[in-house]
Amino acid sequence: MSLLPTLSELVARARADLRVGLPVVLGEGAQGLIALAAETLTPARLSALRSLPGQPHVALTARRAETLRARAYDGDLARVILPPDVDAAWVRALADPALDLDAPMKGPLATAREGAVGLHRLALLLAKSAQLLPAMVTLETDDPAGVAATLMATCLTPEAAASDLALHHPLSPVAQARLPMEAAEQGRLHIFRPDNGGIEHYAIEIGRPDRDKPVLARLHSACFTGDVLGSLKCDCGPQLHAALGAMGQAGAGVLLYLNQEGRGIGLANKMRAYSLQDQGFDTVEANHRLGFEDDERDFRIGADLLRKMGFRAVRLMTNNPRKTAMMEAEGVAVTERVPLITGTNRHNAHYLSVKRDKSGHML
Ligand SMILES: Nc1nc2c(ncn2[C@@H]2O[C@H](COP(=O)(O)OP(=O)(O)OP(=O)(O)O)[C@@H](O)[C@H]2O)c(=O)[nH]1
Ligand SMILES: [Zn+2]
DSSP symbols for 290-310:
HT--S----THHHHHHHHHTT
Closest CA to ligand 1's atom 3: 262
Is the predicted pLDDT of residue 193 greater than 80, yes or no?
yes
- Mean pLDDT throughout 238-261? 98
Ligand with minimal distance to 281 CA:
1
pLDDT computed for residue 108 by the predictor: 86
Question: Which of 184, 205, 312, 182 is closest to 254 using CA atoms?
Answer: 205
Which secondary-structure segment (H or E) carries 325? helix 321-329
CA atoms of 319 and 327, how far apart (whole Å): 14
Is the predicted pLDDT of residue 212 greater than 80, yes or no?
yes
- Mean pLDDT throughout 193-206? 95
pLDDT digits (tens, 9 = 90+) for 19-31: 999 999 999 999 9
- Mean pLDDT throughout 196-212? 96
- Mean pLDDT throughout 307-333? 97
Pocket test for ligand 1, best of 221, 279, 356 (most atoms within 8 A of CB): 221
pLDDT-based confidence at residue 324 (cuts at 50, 70, 90): very high
CA atoms of 240 and 262, how far apart (whole Å): 15
pLDDT computed for residue 105 by the predictor: 73
Determine what percent of the chain is predicted with pLDDT higher than 90. Answer: 93
**Total residue length of the chain:** 363
Determine what percent of the chain is predicted with pLDDT higher than 70. Answer: 100
Please identify which of the residues 15, 79, 121, 297 carries the catalytic annotation.
Answer: 297
pLDDT-based confidence at residue 133 (cuts at 50, 70, 90): very high
Q: Which residue has the higher pLDDT, 266 or 102?
A: 266
pLDDT-based confidence at residue 100 (cuts at 50, 70, 90): confident
pLDDT digits (tens, 9 = 90+) for 61-74: 999 999 999 999 99
Is the predicted pLDDT of residue 182 greater than 90, yes or no?
yes
pLDDT computed for residue 88 by the predictor: 96
CA-atom Rg of the chain in angstroms: 22
E-only strand ranges, 304-356:
313-317, 333-338
Ligand with minimal distance to 221 CA:
1
pLDDT digits (tens, 9 = 90+) for 103-117: 777 678 999 998 899
CA angle 33, 35, 40 (to 5 degrees): 175
**CA of 336 relative to ligand 2 center, distance in Å:** 24
Q: Which residue has the higher pLDDT, 359 or 307?
A: 307
Q: Exposed/middle/buried for 4, CB within 10 Å: 0-12, 13-18, 19+?
A: exposed
CB 137 within 8 A of CB 41: yes
- Mean pLDDT throughout 155-174? 96
- Mean pLDDT throughout 5-20? 96
Is the predicted pLDDT of residue 293 greater than 90, yes or no?
yes
